[in-house]
Amino acid sequence: NFIAITERMDESLVTLSMLMNVPLADVLYLNAKSSGGFDDGEGKQRGKCVYIVPSKASPYMKELMESDDFHEHIYWDRVLHQAANKSLDLTIDALGREKFEQKLSQFKHAQAVAHKRCIKRTIFPCSFEGGEKQIPDDKNDCLLGDAGCGYKCLDEVATELNLWGPGGPLMFNKIEGFNPSRESQQR
């Protein structure tokens, strides 16, 4: 079993690629959502771009998060988080720390190149400027919804940096007209 850690996403993805024996090219990504950006909305907001408010703790929230009561309340959450971190570290050690560090360095370099090259030319469902309406699926650069955004550019970067390995790239095509909403999954 494998558990990824959000705060250690790059490490988690490199570990996953090593465990599954897939090339680093298959785990390159662009962030479709970030603080201060826009999300493609769910529920009542579906179809609209919703602003993601940057995280900022008020003095009251900071005081609360430092209190003994709060730490007691989240004790088991912290235990679980520590166990997941320990599990990731042990998995990395089992795969070989030196080999992992080499792959992580290669991955971080590829991520930096991909971000620099792809982020501005990728058309996300919601632009960085926001707006009421989403960019339609047939006009954005994502495989499905806001997943797999920039896949063509990421493939170019992976090819340039020789991240595919001996098998070469898999070809993905957008599934036109496919809507993974609950309505389309009803029997």
Residue 29 predicted with pLDDT over 80: yes
Give the span between the Cα atoms of 118 and 121, in whole angstroms: 5
| Res 25: pLDDT | 94
Per-residue pLDDT for 187 more than 60? no
Residue 13 has pLDDT above 90, yes or no: yes
Alpha helix (H) ranges present in 26-147?
A: 59-65, 68-73, 75-95, 97-118
> How far is the C-alpha of 51 from the C-alpha of 130, rounded, in Å?
7
Q: What is the mean pLDDT of the chain?
A: 83
Bridge partner list, 133:
48
Are residues 142 and 32 in contact, defined by beta-carbon separation less than 8 angstroms? yes
User: Can you read off the two tokens belonging to residue 97?
Assistant: 């720390």
Q: Compute the distance between CA of residue 103 and CA of residue 18 in angstroms, rounded to an integer.
A: 9
- Residues 127, 114: Cα–Cα separation, whole Å: 18
Task: Indicate the Cα dihedral angle 143, 11, 56, 45, nearest 10°.
Answer: 20
Give the rounded percent of residues in the chain with a pLDDT score beyond 70.
Answer: 78
Mean pLDDT value across residues 98-103: 97
- State the average pLDDT over residues 7-23: 95
Looking at the DSSP bridge assignments, the partners of residue 148 are none
User: Does residue 59 surpass a pLDDT of 50?
Assistant: yes
**pLDDT for the residue 112:** 95
Per-residue pLDDT tens digits for 127-171:
666 666 677 777 888 887 778 888 999 999 999 998 987 766 666
Backbone angles phi, psi at 29, to 5 degrees: -150, 160
